[in-house]
């Protein structure tokens, strides 16, 4: 020991205090890192694990499909359908559409009085007179 004019027990107490402060700071930093790891890592790690498994996991030559995949596919397809409908609908505008003319066909309907729907026959067709 050197003669510094400071009693040895005070120097040791000061050093212990500094060590305690350093230990407290290290504990605080470790807790912050734990919190950061538990909040930020699970999502990227799980998505990476899922993507790796899907690349290498095949049963009977077919890659498995999960419910989440189907749900996301449904959402994507419904968005595409909405976009397609909106793109078709927007050029039409909101004008009034004229009623369509009835189509002229070479057929007419004949009722057999059997309670069924009418039967299609040529326009100039008539039921044979000799049958009852």
Q: Is residue 54 part of a domain?
A: yes
Predicted local confidence at residue 98, as pLDDT = 62
Residues 98, 128: Cα–Cα separation, whole Å: 42
Inside any domain, residue 106: no
Determine the Cα–Cα distance for residues 25 and 11; give it in Å rounded to an integer: 21
Residue 28: enclosing H or E segment and its boundaries? Answer: helix 8-40
**Does residue 74 belong to any structural domain of this protein?**
yes
28 domain residue, yes or no = yes
Query: Domain of 44?
Result: 8-90
Mean pLDDT of 76-96: 74
Over residues 19-52, the pLDDT tens digits come to 999 999 999 999 998 888 888 877 888 888 877 7
Is 113 inside a domain boundary?
no
Tally of domains in the chain: 1
What is the per-residue pLDDT across 97-131, written as a single tens digit (0 to 9) for each? 666 666 677 777 777 777 677 777 787 777 666 65
Asked whether residue 38 is domain-assigned, the answer is yes
Residue 23 exposure: Cα atoms within 13 Å on the Cβ side = 6
């Amino acid at each position: 020991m050197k003669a510094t004019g400071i009693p040895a027990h005070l120097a040791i107490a000061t050093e212990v205090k500094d060590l305690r402060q350093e230990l407290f700071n290290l504990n605080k930093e470790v807790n912050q890192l734990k919190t950061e790891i538990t909040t930020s890592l699970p999502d990227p790690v799980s998505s990476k694990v899922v993507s790796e498994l899907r690349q290498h996991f095949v049963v009977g030559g077919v890659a498995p499909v999960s419910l989440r995949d189907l749900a996301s596919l449904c959402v994507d397809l419904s968005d595409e359908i909405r976009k397609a409908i909106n793109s078709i609908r927007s050029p039409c505008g909101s004008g009034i559409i004229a009623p369509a003319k009835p189509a002229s066909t070479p057929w007419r309907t004949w009722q057999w009085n059997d309670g069924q729907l009418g039967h299609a026959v040529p326009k100039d067709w008539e039921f044979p007179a000799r049958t009852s």
